[in-house]
Structure 1
Amino acid sequence: MQIDPELAKINIPRDEEGPVFEEPWQAQAFALTVKLHEAKQFTWGEWAEIFGAEIAADTAAGNGVGNTAYYLCWLAALEKIVAKKELLTPDQLKRRKAEWQVAADHTPHGQPITLEKTPE
């Protein structure tokens, strides 16, 4: 797999085989960010600016450290760049977040969460 040189600059927990995530949602947030970048929805420079601001704000607020805090910042940055680029309306983003929460609540522990599992 060819790694984008700009992506390689992002500090991502890794082992010899590639990125390491503590929770599936972290991998999903990471993958979604990469896919949006590949679809040319934003540049890595734009991403780095927003993500860096999230980390700086989190640090200034004295919030936690570690993988979970890192990916909570990642997720917040992803939501902000989606809003900034108007990839979804605020209502669409709110609805999608609610759909994922319902799906997560109805998915057995350890199973992948998919929107298809959302009850009607």
Structure 2
Amino acid sequence: MKRARPRPRSWNERELRLIDRLAVVHHKLDSANRERAALIAYISRLHAGRMTPPDPAGGVAVHVDTAAGQLSWRVDAEDTHLLAEPDSSVETLTRLSFLHLHRRPNRPAWRSG
């Protein structure tokens, strides 16, 4: 006797909303990881950092020596291109990092009412 195949279950409205919310969260997390990798690339360029050879997954470790000790980060394979060539997001982060130099040194950065 042949067994009947189970009928595929359809998603209910609540499950579909959760899937949509999960997709949004993943998109935001991917964006945050890209920005993090761009900032690591900037710090590495600024302080003559060095990278390890790629691991089996294609990611690399970035090391920067400072007076306080070594700083290290892992950058995933999909973001390692940021370490090789500056792109617009790295250039933006570089410009933003120098904004503090343009305020007057004897004035507070903010004023209370």
* Bin of the TM-score, shorter chain as denominator length: under 0.3
Q: More helix per residue: 1 or 2?
A: 1
Task: Report the structure number with the largest CA radius of gyration.
Answer: 2
Q: TM-score normalized by structure 1?
A: 0.25
Q: TM-score, normalised by structure 2?
A: 0.26
